[in-house]
Amino acid sequence: MKQLLVLLVLSFLCIAGVAQNINLAFNSVGSGRNITAYYEVEKGDNSYNFGLGYNMNKHALNDDQNQFFRKRLYANNAFQHLNFNFSYQRFILKNTKSIRPFAFYDVQAKHAHTRGTVSFTPSTEQNPTAMDGDGYVYSPDPFTWVEQTIGLGFTADLTERFYLKQRFGVGINLMFADQTANSSNRTAPTWEFGSLLSFGVGMRFSGKS
């Protein structure tokens, strides 16, 4: 886990020399929470963001609403902690300077287990329910999560180079089950409504387009 965080920070620093902008954001999405570093390129009123992030496990659940997916992503290895992110932004209200609102489309992809208080499939002798020491239930196999969001956001200048960035949106989350022996009784994909709240800080390495 620590090695993955170090790799993420180094990647963030390495792209600083070639990226137009870089930013680091905390994202709260349907699956849970992540911290993601973005390489951002602006072309006129358009902005393209490519992100690599770290999915954060939540050890204690502060709700018990019989959810299986929502806020239940749980990574069991380094790869499952990875969050892959792409977003497109279209700046609006072009005459603004220090505050720049935009509309966006965002997609996040990850591959991880779930962990909660309910099981997706009934337990059997051949496929017993996996539980941890705290009594939480693990999904037998990981899922591929694809979270798509549309919404509004803005950037607010702190200085000539540094800025804040916030995004708020809603969308659809798709969860694809691994087709293995343990998942033969599942249906895929599963979907549910999702949301995104994102708070970040960025740095420019060139002027505004």
pLDDT tens digits, 101-158: 999 999 999 999 888 776 666 554 555 556 665 667 777 788 999 999 999 999 999 9
CB 62 within 8 A of CB 43: no
- pLDDT in the model for residue 178: 72
Closest CA to 87 of 52, 54, 57: 52
| Residues in the chain, pLDDT under 50 | 16-18, 124, 181-185
The H or E element containing residue 205 is none
Residue 98 Cα to chain centre, angstroms: 27
- pLDDT in the model for residue 90: 95
- pLDDT in the model for residue 184: 47
For the entire predicted model, the pTM comes to: 0.79
Phi then psi for residue 193, to 5 deg, are -70, 145
Q: For residue 88, what are the CA distances in angstroms to 42, 122, 146, 151? A: 10, 40, 16, 11
Please, where are the H alpha helices in the chain?
Answer: 2-14
Q: For residue 106, what are the CA distances in angstroms to 23, 113, 161, 165, 181? A: 15, 22, 24, 14, 33
CA distance 43 to 84: 22
- pLDDT in the model for residue 17: 47
